[in-house]
C-alpha cells in the first residue's frame, strides 16, 4: 500500500468530502459554466467549499480540477491557462485544509470516446500526464481519477498519474445494466478491479451514477476482486427537475444510514458525490470511528 494511504488508514476508515459542482452552483455557478475556471475568476467560493468540508469532518478534500485537462479546456475560453487552473485548484484546497485534511486532486474524463476514434490512447496519456504533473507541482497529496465509464481511458489516466509518484485512486461509474452494476461501456466491478489494479491504481472504487444504496453490492464485489483499499462516493439519489431546478431528494440522515453497511462491505474511504453537501459529511461522520 502507498505510504500516504497507509498513514491515513492507520486511524481507521477515512471520511472524504462531498459534491463540488452542486456546491459551486449554490454559490452562483451558472448552468453550462465551466467550474474549473472559477479557480482563477472566483477563488473565494471555491475555497469556501473546501473549508466547509474540512469543518464538517472530511479527512480528505478534493480539488476543483475535474475537467482541467487539455481536451476539456479546449472547449473553454482559457485553454492556455491549464497549468494555472490546476495549480490554483490545489492551492485553494490546501489553504482551506490548513493541515487538517489531505488534498487529493481530481482528474475527470476527457469527454472524448476512444471507441469512436475521437482521441488516441497517446493523446489521452499526454493530456492526463500534463494535468497530473501540474497537480503534483501544486502540492497535491494524492490524485483521484474519477467518474470514469471507459475502463481503457481510466487505465490510461492511472498510468499517467502514477508517473508523479503520488498515490492514485481510480473510480468508475456503475449506473447501467439491469442491476445498475456495470459502467456505460458494460464493465463489471470485477473487470474494473482487474484493469485498474493492472494499470497501477493504489486504491479503486466507484462514484456518481446512482444513490448510495446501489453502491453496497458494487462495494462488496470490488472488495472481493482485489486487495486495494476501496473508495466509495455516492450521489444523494438521482437528480429530479422540480420547477425547473435540479433537486436531490435523499436527506443527509438517510444517506448516512448506509455508511456502516458500506464499511462492513469493505469500503476504506467514504464520502459523497452529486447532490451531497457538508451536511451529508457531518451526518456520515457520526458513523465513523473517531477521526
pLDDT at position 248 is: 84
Chain centroid to CA 139: 18
Local confidence band at 110 (pLDDT 50, 70, 90 cut-offs): very high
pLDDT at position 201 is: 98
Are 83 and 42 within 8 A, CB to CB? no
Number of structural domains the chain divides into: 1
pLDDT at position 238 is: 82
Residue 171 lies in a domain: yes
Q: How confident is the model over 270-281, as a mean pLDDT?
A: 97
Query: For the segment 165-214, what is each residue's pLDDT rounded down to a tens digit?
Result: 999 999 999 999 999 999 999 999 999 999 999 999 999 999 999 999 99
Percentage of the chain surpassing pLDDT 70? 99
pTM of the shown model: 0.95
pLDDT of residue 135 exceeding 90, the answer is yes
Residue 233 lies in a domain: yes
Q: Which three cell numbers stand for residue 272?
A: 459523497
Q: Which three cell numbers stand for residue 127?
A: 493530456
Q: Which three cell numbers stand for residue 189?
A: 466491478
pLDDT at position 290 is: 61
Residue 102 lies in a domain: yes
Residue 67 lies in a domain: yes
Which residue segment(s) compose the domain that 197 sits in?
A: 3-7+14-285
Residue 238 lies in a domain: yes
Local confidence band at 239 (pLDDT 50, 70, 90 cut-offs): confident
Are 39 and 25 within 8 A, CB to CB? no
Residue 291 lies in a domain: no
Residue 290 lies in a domain: no
pLDDT of residue 39 exceeding 70, the answer is yes
Contacts 24+ apart (CB under 8 A), 256-263: 256/280, 256/283, 256/284, 256/286, 256/287, 257/287, 258/212, 258/213, 258/215, 258/216, 258/234, 259/284, 259/287, 259/288, 260/287, 261/216, 262/212, 262/215, 262/216, 262/219, 262/232, 263/13, 263/287, 263/288
Distances (CA, A) of 191 to 174, 181, 218: 12, 11, 12
pLDDT of residue 245 exceeding 90, the answer is no
Query: For the segment 44-54, what is each residue's pLDDT rounded down to a tens digit?
Result: 999 999 999 99
Nearest Cα to Cα of residue 236 among 221, 256, 222: 256
Kindly report the CATH number assigned to the domain that includes residue 123: 3.20.20.330
Are 163 and 135 within 8 A, CB to CB? no
Query: For the segment 78-98, what is each residue's pLDDT rounded down to a tens digit?
Result: 899 999 999 999 999 999 999
Residue 176 lies in a domain: yes
Provide the mean pLDDT of the chain.
95
Amino acid at each position: 500500500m502507498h505510504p500516504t494511504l497507509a498513514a491515513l488508514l492507520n486511524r481507521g476508515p477515512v471520511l472524504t468530502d462531498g459534491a463540488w459542482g452542486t456546491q459551486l452552483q449554490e454559490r452562483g455557478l451558472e448552468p453550462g459554466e465551466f467550474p474549473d475556471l472559477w479557480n482563477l475568476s472566483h477563488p473565494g467560493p471555491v475555497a469556501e467549499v473546501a473549508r466547509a468540508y474540512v469543518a464538517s469532518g472530511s479527512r480528505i478534500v478534493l480539488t476543483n480540477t475535474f475537467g482541467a485537462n487539455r481536451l476539456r479546456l479546449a472547449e473553454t475560453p482559457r485553454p492556455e491557462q491549464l497549468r494555472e487552473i490546476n495549480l490554483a485548484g490545489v492551492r485553494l484546497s490546501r489553504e482551506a485544509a490548513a493541515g487538517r485534511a489531505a488534498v487529493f486532486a481530481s482528474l475527470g474524463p476527457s469527454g472524448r470516446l476512444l471507441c469512436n476514434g475521437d482521441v488516441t490512447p497517446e493523446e489521452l496519456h499526454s493530456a492526463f500526464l500534463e494535468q497530473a504533473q501540474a497537480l503534483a507541482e501544486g502540492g497535491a497529496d494524492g490524485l483521484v481519477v474519477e467518474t470514469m465509464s471507459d475502463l481503457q481511458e481510466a487505465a490510461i489516466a492511472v498510468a499517467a498519474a502514477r508517473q508523479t509518484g503520488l498515490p492514485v485512486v481510480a473510480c468508475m461509474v456503475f449506473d447501467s445494466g439491469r442491476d445498475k452494476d456495470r459502467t456505460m461501456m458494460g464493465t463489471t466491478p470485477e473487470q474494473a478491479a482487474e484493469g485498474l489494479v493492472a494499470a497501477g491504481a493504489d486504491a479503486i472504487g466507484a462514484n456518481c451514477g446512482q444513490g448510495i444504496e446501489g453502491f453496497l453490492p458494487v462495494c462488496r464485489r470490488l472488495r472481493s476482486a482485489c486487495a486495494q483499499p476501496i473508495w466509495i462516493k455516492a450521489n444523494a439519489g438521482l437528480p429530479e427537475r422540480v420547477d425547473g431546478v435540479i433537486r436531490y431528494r435523499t436527506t443527509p440522515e438517510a444517506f448516512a444510514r448506509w455508511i456502516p453497511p458500506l464499511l462492513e462491505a469493505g469500503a476504506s474511504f467514504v464520502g459523497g458525490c452529486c447532490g451531497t453537501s457538508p451536511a451529508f459529511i457531518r451526518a456520515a461522520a457520526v458513523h465513523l470511528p473517531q477521526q
